[in-house]
């Protein structure tokens, strides 16, 4: 029974590490999409910028879905990055909204 418990514990730890790596990768993808969206808007390509914003919003939803399943320390780190992401996303959405009027 001890061996099975150890294997289960190791699998849970591995799953936790993998989940955290996924969240970090998803955050990086969102930041990259935001950069692309800002660039596309700066060259007048609002349609592509809107798609990038939609991709970021989808990424944020995925992050929020898995966020409760990581450790408190990891959660704080990811939440800080999410706040940074939203600080960039909100003005971009505002610019897109103004252009669509």
pTM of the model: 0.89
pLDDT (tens digit per residue) in 19-78: 999 999 999 999 999 999 999 999 999 999 999 999 999 999 999 999 999 999 999 999
Exposure of 4 by Cβ count < 10 A (0-12 exposed, 13-18 middle, 19+ buried)?
Answer: exposed
Q: Is the pLDDT of residue 15 over 70?
A: yes
Contact status, residue 70 vs residue 16, Cβ threshold 8 Å: yes
> Where along the chain do its domains lie?
2-99
Residue 2 pLDDT level (bands cut at 50, 70, 90): confident
């Amino acid at each position: 029974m001890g061996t099975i418990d150890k294997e289960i514990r190791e699998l849970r730890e591995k799953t936790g590490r993998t989940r955290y790596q996924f969240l970090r990768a998803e955050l990086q993808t969102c930041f990259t999409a935001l950069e692309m969206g800002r660039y596309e808007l700066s060259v007048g390509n609002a349609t592509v910028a809107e798609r990038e914003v939609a991709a970021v919003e989808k990424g944020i939803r995925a992050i929020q879905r898995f966020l409760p399943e990581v450790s408190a320390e990891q959660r704080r780190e990811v939440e800080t990055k999410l706040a940074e992401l939203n600080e960039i996303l909100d003005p971009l959405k505002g610019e897109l909204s103004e252009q669509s009027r």
